Amino acid sequence: MKRIYCTVLLLLFILAIPLSALSQPEEPTIYIIKKGDTLWGLSEQFLKDPHYWPDLWARNQKITNPHLIYPGQRLKVFSDRIEIEEAPGAVTAPAIVTPEEVAAGKTFRVNGGEGFLLEKELQPAGYIIATDHDRLMVGEEDVVYTDIGKTYGAKTGDTFSIFKKMNAVKHPVTNDFVGWRVASLGTLNLVELKAKNSKALITQSYSEIGTGAYLMHYRERRREVALKAAGKDLHGYIVETRGGNISIGAGDCTYIDLGKSQGLKIGNLLYVVREVHPDKLEAKGKVGELPMNVIGAMVVVEIGEKTSTCLVVKSTEAIYRGDKVELKRN
């Protein structure tokens, strides 16, 4: 009986070994990058999916150019993801690149000065009709006068956002009218009211403010925007930049020709892409179209029916009006 008992214990011990081993964290394969390696190639080699590399690039701030990873960098290769191994003594956060974890934890701050495209005419709440001492331009803590008064239903302390309608925007490809570029200038509070006008104090300014700027009921625009997984693949264009600049980079804003009606959502991450052409034109017919070059990434922070405002969060070179953008499902 004793022998049978010991045999049973031994069998249970042997059976328990693989169960405990299965509960251990997956041990990654360590790969040291060699000259000539690309994220496209590494994604194909280890994950059998060359299209995974834009996710790896966009979620790792250490990789400034997706085609310039450096020999000697160490990668941790898991069955479902690739991580950049931190150098000894590094204090930055682990380079986790799984879309689910990024969508749950990565956020971007917007301050309300991003502006937007006005797709159709709207009726402002009022206008700035004069400035203190007839100054051409004013800013924070300056006094202005509005055409909003008691008959409008306004009260002392009411807050309004200040905007300025800028140029008409036409699509860079079709030349169709897209909307009016609207600059967000700041906010003001009404401090003294009469029947048909009021005195106001500018409480915040993103840019110079002058007469003619229009007022809208205040809506809090400063917030954190969390990344949201894409529900579908979309393709569009940058139709304008926040300041109307010829070129922009990380930290600036763009306006694109995608919105709610196309299925875009606030928090979606888009890639800015540019076509690559063969050195010789006659080669195009033989090799076909080359893969797009990814030059930037941006997050949707405001959305309209057919247009959206995006914050550029990464760029490897100058981004221009007319550049293509892509939304890809993970």
Can you list the alpha helix ranges (DSSP code H) found in the chain? 2-22, 39-47, 53-58, 99-105, 284-287
Look at residue 202 in the predicted model and tell me its pLDDT: 96
Look at residue 29 in the predicted model and tell me its pLDDT: 78
Look at residue 77 in the predicted model and tell me its pLDDT: 76
Task: For strands 308-315 and 253-256, give the pairing.
Answer: antiparallel
Residue 255 has a CB neighbour count (10 Å cut-off) of 25
Look at residue 93 in the predicted model and tell me its pLDDT: 32
Look at residue 80 in the predicted model and tell me its pLDDT: 67
**Matching residue, tokens 């694109």:** 256
CA 2 to chain centre: 69
Look at residue 91 in the predicted model and tell me its pLDDT: 34
Residues 6+ away with beta carbon under 8 Å from 324? 235, 236, 237, 238, 272, 273, 274, 275, 292
- pLDDT tens for 40-70 read 566 667 666 655 555 555 555 555 444 445 5
Q: What is the token pair recorded at 251?
A: 């930290």
Distance CA(166)–CA(84), nearest Å, equals 44
- The average confidence (pLDDT) of the chain is 78
What is the pTM assigned to this prediction?
0.66
Phi and psi angles of residue 323, each rounded to the nearest 5 degrees, phi first: -65, 150
- For the chain, residues with pLDDT lower than 50 are 1-22, 64-68, 87-105
Q: Is the separation of the CB atoms in 26 and 78 below 8 Å?
A: yes
Residue 322 has a CB neighbour count (10 Å cut-off) of 13
Q: For residue 253, what are the CA distances in angstroms to 64, 240, 242, 304?
A: 19, 9, 5, 15
User: How does 257-284 read in b/e, with b if 16+ C-beta sit within 10 Å?
Assistant: bbbeebebebbbbbbbbeeeeeeeeeee
Q: Is the separation of the CB atoms in 215 and 188 below 8 Å?
A: yes
Distance CA(186)–CA(188), nearest Å, equals 7
The number of CA neighbours under 13 Å toward the Cβ of 100 is 2
- The domains of the chain, with CATH numbers, are 2-97 (3.10.450), 116-217 (2.40.10.410), 225-327 (2.40.10.170)
Q: Is the separation of the CB atoms in 305 and 266 below 8 Å?
A: no
- pLDDT tens for 16-32 read 444 444 456 677 777 77
